[in-house]
Amino acid sequence: MSPMEPDGRAVFVNGYTKILTGAWSSEEFSLRLEADPVSVLAENGLAVEAGSRVDIVRIRDGEPDLQTQMQLWEIGRRSGHYVLYVPELPQLDVRDLADEELGGLAGGGGTSYCCNPCCCQS
């Protein structure tokens, strides 16, 4: 399989990035992507041939790999069956923080910082 040309690579990366950030920042965008992927892809610069099938995969084992996604896109261009990995946004570890941890986050570690030395001097 030949690698994607530089111009095609730039177009793909730009469109794929828009789709990822849209899916991660907007539930409405994510729902539209699932319901009508062909239109959403086209709106974001990744048009597919008429009659093509697009599968949006939200869960994938391992880390997302841009190179693999570009290879899958090229396979889709030849076969008419596109597979686009759009993983869910990773969840943050939300736990109760101890008072000591909160104090450190708020700048309360006993260290004082001043943005302008002359404002602290009288």
In the chain, the amino acid numbered 1 is: M
Q: Does 81 score more than 60 pLDDT?
A: yes
Q: Taking the domains of the chain in order of start, what are their residue ranges?
A: 6-85
Q: Does 105 score more than 60 pLDDT?
A: no
Q: Does 14 score more than 50 pLDDT?
A: yes
**Residue environment code for 100-118, b if the CB has 16+ CB neighbours within 10 A, otherwise e:** eeeeeeeeeeeeeeeeeee
pTM of the model: 0.68
* 12-16, 55-59, 77-81, 116-120: least confidently modelled range: 116-120
* 11-25, 27-41, 107-121: least confidently modelled range: 107-121
